[in-house]
Structure 1
Amino acid sequence: MDEHPTPGTAASRAGRAGRADGPDRPDQVLQQLLAGLTAVRDGDFRTRLGTDLPGVPGEIATVFNGMVEQLARVTSEVTRVAREVGSEGRLGGQAHVPGAAGTWLDLTGAVNAMAGDLTRQLRNIAQVTTAVARGDLTQKIEVDARGELLELKNTVNTMVDQLSAFAGEVTRVAREVGSEGNLGGQATVRGVSGTWKDLTDNVNVMASNLTGQVRSMSDVATAVARGDLSRKITVEAKGEVA
């Protein structure tokens, strides 16, 4: 009996069928690839394909695994920077993805540009507002900005201008009336409203009252010095002035 089956025997057909059902069968490779791509589509980057497949299927598995690993690195870095800058308030973060190219490099660059712009803008705003809190009204926000950040920049700079004008006028009136004895001074601050307008009005009322009181006292004192005892101080006054 011939122990070696001919190509047409049942044993030969079974052997070929066994090889066709092996791990390198094309439809099995495609099923694995489909499962992996489906996972990636659904945001699952944990799937890997076996790379021990011969020929093109093995190359496909290697490329797929590399793609998934790169996607995982990009996602991890972008998420980290977004969390640090957006949620934790830790400015200056940058994404680093070794080997990134093409769209992945563009995406990483865009995230880093966004984080860099926000860092510069927010740090400049913080620097100016901190200076204002310390009484330094000489600083302005100079960093380039657009959209809502531009509105914030303009608002802060306008606030600094108004505070500077207010402080300058109040200081001038206080110096003229209190130190130089020039009565009648009034603070003029354009565009102020709310508390700043109230403060300006209060300073002006104070200066006006002091002017009226001191001038009335001066008139009476001058009259007495001239021998005129018919004059009296009639201006309204309170406290020590009264």
Structure 2
Amino acid sequence: MNKAPLITKMLPRKNSLRNGGELDTKQLLAALMAFRRGDFSARLPEDWTGVAGKIADTFNDVIRTNQRMTQELGRIVRVVGKEGRITQRAALSDVSESWGDAIGCINVLIEDLLRPTSEMARVIGAVAKGNLSETMASEIEGQPLKGEFLRTAKTVN
């Protein structure tokens, strides 16, 4: 069933909204296209009123949240990946649902990379002190090592 006619009927005519405010569809489209390209400087005017104002506020909030997410991921790359501050975790205040899930996934990834790396460091440290009896576990917290982690464990052992 083609829903295009229904959607067309729902769109405001002549870019005006019944409960106040003018919606500049060209400006909205330009902002959406910029956002799609990853341009987080795209914003809609804050002085729009009525439904157009609510659309602008919502759009601008989505842009700000994406911008904050990008900045936080950049921070995590720097502090964990480059500076080696492995206790740092991603955090983004005032988000819920999928935004919070995404931050949680990043933190789980950090933990999943950290555990075998710490175990390797422990064993290599013991070997450096002459203790050749230490071995790297083939599972961590009940989860078997896989892929490169398993290969490294076999090499270390």
Q: Flag whether TM exceeds 0.5 (same fold).
A: yes
1:25 pairs, out of 13, 18, 22, with: 22
1:74 pairs, out of 65, 69, 74, with: 69
Alignment partner, residue 150 of structure 1? 150
Residue 100 of structure 1, CA deviation: 2.0
Q: Which has the larger radius of gyration?
A: 1
Residue 154 of structure 1, CA deviation: 2.1
| 2:76–2:90 CA contact under 8 A, matched in 1 | yes
For residues 64 and 37 of structure 1, what CA distance do their matches in structure 2 show? 9
For residues 25 and 150 of structure 1, what CA distance do their matches in structure 2 show? 61
Identity between Structure 1 and Structure 2 (%): 39
Alignment partner, residue 15 of structure 1? none
For residues 61 and 139 of structure 1, what CA distance do their matches in structure 2 show? 61
For residues 90 and 155 of structure 2, what CA distance do their matches in structure 1 show? 32
Secondary structure, counterpart of 1:99 in structure 2 = coil
Aligned pairs for 1:87-106 within 5 A: 87-106=82-101
How many residue pairs were aligned?
133
For residues 141 and 41 of structure 1, what CA distance do their matches in structure 2 show? 46
Residue 127 of structure 1, CA deviation: 1.2
1:85 aligns with 2:80: yes
Residue 62 of structure 1, CA deviation: 0.8
Amino acid corresponding to residue 90 of structure 1 in structure 2: R
Amino acid corresponding to residue 22 of structure 2 in structure 1: R
Alignment partner, residue 48 of structure 2? 53
For residues 99 and 154 of structure 2, what CA distance do their matches in structure 1 show? 35
| 2:120–2:136 CA contact under 8 A, matched in 1 | yes
| 2:22–2:52 CA contact under 8 A, matched in 1 | no
| 1:51–1:59 CA contact under 8 A, matched in 2 | no
Residue 91 of structure 1, CA deviation: 1.9
For residues 31 and 139 of structure 1, what CA distance do their matches in structure 2 show? 67
Alignment partner, residue 29 of structure 2? 34
For residues 155 and 84 of structure 2, what CA distance do their matches in structure 1 show? 22
Residue 110 of structure 1, CA deviation: 1.1
Q: Deviations over 1:153-204 (max 9, x none)?
A: 12212xxxxxxxxxxxxxxxxxxxxxxxxxxxxxxxxxxxxxxxxxxxxxxx
Residue 46 of structure 1, CA deviation: 1.6
Secondary structure, counterpart of 1:97 in structure 2 = coil
| 2:40–2:66 CA contact under 8 A, matched in 1 | yes
Q: Deviations over 1:123-164 (max 9, x none)?
A: 11111101101111232223343211121112212xxxxxxx
Alignment partner, residue 13 of structure 2? none
Secondary structure, counterpart of 1:70 in structure 2 = helix
Secondary structure, counterpart of 2:149 in structure 1 = helix
| 2:126–2:134 CA contact under 8 A, matched in 1 | yes
Instruction: Identify which of structures 1 and 2 has the higher relative contact order when contacts are C-alpha pairs closer than 8 Å and 6+ apart.
Output: 2
Secondary structure, counterpart of 1:152 in structure 2 = helix
Root-mean-square deviation (CA, aligned residues, Å) is 2.0
For residues 118 and 92 of structure 1, what CA distance do their matches in structure 2 show? 12
Amino acid corresponding to residue 27 of structure 2 in structure 1: Q
Unaligned 5+ segments in structure 2 are 1-20
| 2:72–2:91 CA contact under 8 A, matched in 1 | yes
Amino acid corresponding to residue 29 of structure 2 in structure 1: L
Amino acid corresponding to residue 146 of structure 1 in structure 2: K
